[in-house]
Each structure stands twice: as structure tokens, then as C-alpha cells.
Amino acid sequence: MPTCAALIVAAGRGSRFGGSLPKQYAPLRGENVLRRTLRAFASHPGVQRVVVAIHPDDQAIFNATAAGLPKVSSVHGGAQRQDSVRLGLEALAAEAPDLVLIHDGARPMISAALIDRVIAGLSGADGILPAVPVIDTLKRVDGDRIGETVPRENLVRAQTPQGFRFPAILAAHRALAGESLTDDAAVLERAGKTVKIVRGDEANIKVTTMDDLARLEGTLGETRIGQGFDVHKFGHGDGVWLCGLKVAHTQGLVGHSDADVALHAATDAILGAIGAGDIGQHFPPSDPKWKGAASHQFLRHAYDLLLARGGSLTHLDFTIICERPKVGPHRAAMVASVAKILGLEEGRISVKATTTEGLGFTGRQEGIAAQAVATVRV
């Protein structure tokens, strides 16, 4: 087995990205883009070492990004991408691995299978480039005018990781120091060596804009649905709490907390979607701490658990079941109240109500029942 190092290029400032952080440090479902990239290489059995070329200003955020990952260390990059790669290769020169895989830090969707293909390809070449076909018709333009149609036969789109025999790419980078070629395959080509291609991966996109990041977020994770149900009975009082709102009524609801039956159902719905138990486990009625507690904190706690898992709430749908009080006049305010508790757009919250046609305990006006369904992405 040849020894193999990965060199991750993450020193750029990402001028096209427009966020407050360089794109490689932008959050992506619970971790940042670069950490996801690093995990792919650090966990690959064929890669013994991962060196990351970073911007000197990013040392602190890099340390936090790489915390706990095996095999990973950093080196300060240079002004241009090519400088950063050369400095990273120099950092590996002492141990001189047989192979090096040079990869963009902003390509977090790199798969173990593609890493395998690049390593395997290097048994028959000095350089390997993963390539994907050009599918769209290509046009050369002059301002807003079409100049010509470029034949796309024999054209491919180059991805990373580009793999190299280490001595060959180190020598080529040393010889071409100070130039600014677009990728490392071009550096090796200029040194007169042959670069071959292997099949790339359409999923292995480079995050360049906020739109790329948003698209990527949409493809990650899975949709889950959790449901919650709760009942509280009527007792003395002058109103009931529903969805974090006090609604005037001739009675109150009895409960250890403020008895907000709707928020309790929603709390259980979110906990259910992430398999995190139920509201009684998190906030035991036996604990005097929660006596008379405002239930928005229960919902917020469940939501924070979801966020901590890198999840997001797509939609939260309530059904409040009672004869009285009438929910309709308060529906919009309830939606606004829940949206405010969660810091989400009102469009993600739905409040509906129904009676049970006078039947059962809700029909006899002994209490209020509530159901909630949470759709989450985790």
C-alpha cells in the first residue's frame, strides 16, 4: 500500500461568496463546510495524514473546526492558491508520502468512493484528475452577444481531489513557484508529465456562492415527522394559555405549568421527530422548578435540541380541539406567537381548530386537547 497524504486548500477569502466568514467556514447543517471536508479525508483508511493550507488570520477558527479530528494539521498558505499548495507540499516534504491528494476545502461532498478512484488511478499515472462531462451547450460570448458555439466533445469539467505522485508534483510546484495556474493538474502538465482522468462525481460541488450553500443544505439530511398530543382539564380561572397566548375564558386549564396544551403538544412533536423522549422526561411535573412555568421555554428547549443536531424546523402544524373558547379570532396571533418563540417565519407555523360536535370530554367542555405535527430536516 502506498503512503498517501491529503492537502486541503482552505486559505482563500472567498470574494464571490459574500458571507461574513470565508466560505470554507460557513455553517452547513451543524458543522462548517471545511470540517465536513476534513472528516471525509481523516476517516479514509487510505489517507494517513491531512495537511490544511489556511489563511494566517484563520488559525483560531481552523483550530475549532478541526478539533477532535485525527491526522489533521495546518500550515499557513500564501497569497495565491498555487503558493498555498506549494507551501503545503513543502510541509509534507520531510515525510515524503508516495501520493498526495490536493483538494479544495470548499468541496465538502467528497465521497470515499471518489478518493478510492483517485488513489487507484495513481497506480498508472503521475497525476489523476476527476472529471465530469459537460452537458450544457457551451457558447463563447462577446458582451451580451453570442460569439460562437464551442464543441463540447472532448471537454470535461475538472474537480478535486487531484491526485499526484508526491515527488513529481513537489518538483513541478517548486519549478513553477510564483506562477498562478488554475489547478495542480496544470502545474504537472507544464512540467511535461501526463495527467489522466477518472470519473468524478456530480455531487462533489464546490461551494462558491450563498446559493450553492443553500442548495447543498437542501440535499443534506433527511425529513422526519414527529407528532405530539396533550390534554388539560378545565378548572378555575379567567382564561387559558394556548400557543403562548392568554385567551380570555370563563375557566382556566389545570396543570403543573401554565397548562398550555398546544405548546406541550408541539414540544412533544419536535422531541418525537428527533427521538429525544417526551416533555415529561425533560420537565418532570414532580420538579417544583416548573410550577406555573411559561410553556414557551419547553418548546424552545425542544427546538434548541433540534438545532444542536444540525436540524431545522420545516413546518409546525397545530390542531386545537375544544368547543370553547373559540380559537378562530386568535388564530393569527397564535401563529405569530409561536413564530416569535422559535424565531421563524410565520409561514412555517399553522394553527387550526376543531370541535368534536359535542361528543366526548372536549364536547362536554371538560378540557382542551391539542395535536401538533412537526416536520423537521435532520
Name the residue whose CB lies closest to Mg ion. 264
Nearer to Mg ion among residue 184 and residue 230 (C-beta): 230
Nearer to Mg ion among residue 104 and residue 258 (C-beta): 258
CB 339 to Mg ion: min, Å: 21
Please state, as a whole number, how many other Cβ atoms lie within 10 Å of the Cβ of residue 179: 13
- Tallying the residues shown for the chain, one arrives at 378
170 closest CA partner among 72, 92, 118, 53: 92
CB 208 to Mg ion: min, Å: 48
Nearer to Mg ion among residue 165 and residue 264 (C-beta): 264
| Rounded Cα gap, residues 37 and 105, in angstroms | 6
- Which range, of 39-47, 113-121, 184-192, 258-266, touches Mg ion by CB under 5 A? 258-266
CB 263 to Mg ion: min, Å: 9
CA terminus-to-terminus distance, the chain: 37
Q: Are the C-beta atoms of residues 24 and 17 closer than 8 Å to each other?
A: no
308 closest CA partner among 345, 283, 274, 280: 274
- 258 lies in the binding site for Mg ion (CB under 5 A): no
| Rounded Cα gap, residues 7 and 160, in angstroms | 11
Nearer to Mg ion among residue 183 and residue 230 (C-beta): 230
CB 13 to Mg ion: min, Å: 51
DSSP strand E in 58-177: where? 72-76, 99-104, 127-133, 138-142, 145-150, 156-158, 162-165
CB 282 to Mg ion: min, Å: 12
Q: Are the C-beta atoms of residues 52 and 24 closer than 8 Å to each other?
A: no
Nearer to Mg ion among residue 114 and residue 370 (C-beta): 370
Tell which positions 217-256 bind Mg ion, by CB under 5 A: 230
| Rounded Cα gap, residues 345 and 333, in angstroms | 13
Integer angstrom CA distances of residue 89 from 2, 158, 322, 340: 17, 21, 70, 51
Nearer to Mg ion among residue 206 and residue 233 (C-beta): 233
CB 20 to Mg ion: min, Å: 41
User: Residue 374 belongs to what H/E stretch?
Assistant: strand 367-377
Nearer to Mg ion among residue 249 and residue 264 (C-beta): 264
* Backbone φ, ψ for residue 176 (5° rounding): -110, 20
Tell which positions 304-363 bind Mg ion, by CB under 5 A: none
CB 237 to Mg ion: min, Å: 15
User: How many CA atoms within 13 Å lie on the side-chain side of 272?
Assistant: 17
Tell me the three state secondary structure of residue 138: strand
- 296 lies in the binding site for Mg ion (CB under 5 A): no
CB 315 to Mg ion: min, Å: 22
Residues in contact with Mg ion, counted by CB under 5 A, come to a total of: 2
Nearer to Mg ion among residue 17 and residue 234 (C-beta): 234
Q: Are the C-beta atoms of residues 331 and 325 closer than 8 Å to each other?
A: no
Q: Residue 198 has which C-alpha cell?
A: 477518472
CB 376 to Mg ion: min, Å: 21
- 264 lies in the binding site for Mg ion (CB under 5 A): yes
CB 345 to Mg ion: min, Å: 27
Tell me the three state secondary structure of residue 174: helix
- Which range, of 26-34, 189-197, 260-268, 333-341, touches Mg ion by CB under 5 A? 260-268
Nearer to Mg ion among residue 53 and residue 253 (C-beta): 253
Nearer to Mg ion among residue 55 and residue 232 (C-beta): 232
Binding site for Mg ion (CB under 5 A): 230, 264
